[in-house]
């Protein structure tokens, strides 16, 4: 699959899934669908018990989140946005309720959609230079209902509400203190964060898989069933209405103009904050 690669370390019962869409892993409909299909294929493989999700980028960015071109109403349509939203939501809900043991190896920035991918994993490890948050409010977009709820299930409702309403990204130490991540690794490199994620994975896949999966799903089935019912039409329609307002269009236009005028590293740095 373009931009998504899967490898099985020799003798291991888990897979390493990397996303590498330069420069910052911005997610469009095709990339959400590719990630969804890759996870579904691993889940359908009886020899696979887990998946480590990591960035394959040259820069220290897990993912910059959604491609803003998919959210800029003048360049899309209600039907195209609906297709985008369903690809995204089916991937996230499927990952959250997967039978697989799942862990995110976060190197660098992890805003918005990237943050939600990591929250859908069972565990998260981050580099010291990493940052996380559902920062949509800062660019004039409402935080999706179930993304905010998912953060609340992870760090508690009050802490999650304060964070999403501020539109703020938090650094690695604060992410650990809040419970957004399970550990901060010693170095800002791929090897360090993969080592921590691999250690966690090796312990997880040694547990009886059926018991682990059943226990996981018993705590998530109801939430995911409600998520599926809501996102099929209602959340897609709500999202389109939200991004179609004159204020949202103007805000996103300004952000896109800023990104298009930035060059090289500056562009990647700006994009990673969306």
**Residue 186 CB neighbours (<10 A):** 12
What is the model's pLDDT at position 258?
Answer: 84
pTM of the predicted model as reported, rounded to 2 decimal places: 0.92
DSSP state, residue 56: -
Helices (H), the chain: 29-44, 78-96, 112-119, 145-155, 157-166, 172-178, 190-205, 209-218, 221-231, 234-243, 246-261, 264-271
Supply 180's token pair: 């957004």
According to DSSP, the residues that pair with 124 across neighbouring strands are: 104
Structural tokens at position 271: 């994009």
Give 233-266 as a 3 state SS string. CHHHHHHHHHHCCHHHHHHHHHHHHHHHHCCHHH
Residue 1 has pLDDT above 90, yes or no: no
Residue 44's pLDDT band (cuts 50, 70, 90): very high
pLDDT tens digits for range 53-80: 999 999 999 998 899 889 889 989 999 9
Q: State how far the alpha carbon of 227 is from the alpha carbons of 15, 97, 104, 219, 236, in Å.
A: 27, 11, 22, 14, 12
Cα separation, 96 vs 216, in Å, equals 9
Q: Give the burial string for 153-176 (b: 16+ CB within 10 Å, else e).
A: bbbeeebbeebbeebebbebebbb
Q: Say how many CA atoms lie within 13 Å of 199 toward its Cβ.
A: 10
Q: How far apart are CA 100 and CA 48, in angstroms?
A: 8
pLDDT in tens, 183-200: 999 999 999 999 999 999
Mean pLDDT of the chain: 92
Q: How many CB atoms lie within 10 A of CB 260?
A: 9
pLDDT of 58 reads 92
pLDDT(264) > 70? no
Q: Name the residue with tokens 């996103």.
A: 252
Question: Which DSSP category does 116 fall into?
Answer: H
Predicted pLDDT at 265:
44
- Between 94-108, 197-211, 240-254, the lowest mean confidence (pLDDT) is in 240-254
Predicted local distance difference test score (pLDDT) of residue 262: 65
Predicted confidence at residue 267, as pLDDT, reads: 39
Domains of the chain with CATH codes? 4-271 (3.90.226.10)
């Amino acid at each position: 699959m373009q931009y998504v690669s899967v490898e099985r370390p020799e003798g291991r019962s888990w897979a390493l899934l990397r996303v590498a869409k330069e420069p910052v892993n911005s997610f469009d409909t095709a990339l959400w669908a590719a990630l969804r299909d890759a996870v579904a294929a691993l889940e359908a493989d009886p020899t696979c018990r887990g998946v480590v999700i990591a960035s394959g980028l040259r820069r220290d960015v897990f993912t910059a989140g959604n491609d803003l071109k998919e959210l800029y109403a003048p360049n899309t349509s209600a039907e195209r946005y609906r297709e985008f939203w369903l690809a995204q939501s089916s991937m996230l809900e499927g990952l959250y309720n997967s039978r697989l043991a799942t862990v995110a190896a976060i190197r660098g920035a992890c805003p918005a959609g990237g943050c939600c991918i990591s929250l859908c994993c069972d565990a998260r490890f981050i580099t010291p230079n990493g940052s996380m948050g559902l920062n949509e409010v800062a660019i004039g977009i409402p935080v999706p209902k179930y993304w905010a709820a998912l953060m609340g299930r992870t760090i508690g409702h009050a802490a999650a509400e304060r964070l999403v309403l501020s539109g703020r990204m938090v650094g690695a130490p604060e992410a650990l203190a809040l419970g957004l991540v399970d550990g901060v690794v010693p170095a800002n490199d791929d090897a360090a964060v993969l080592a921590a994620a691999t250690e966690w994975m090796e312990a997880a896949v040694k547990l009886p898989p059926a018991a682990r999966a059943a226990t996981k799903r018993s705590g998530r089935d109801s939430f995911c069933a409600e998520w599926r019912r809501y996102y099929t039409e209602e959340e897609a329609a709500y999202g389109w209405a939200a991004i179609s307002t004159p204020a949202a269009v103007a805000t996103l236009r300004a952000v896109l103009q800023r990104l298009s005028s930035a060059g090289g590293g500056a562009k990647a740095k700006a994009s990673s904050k969306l």
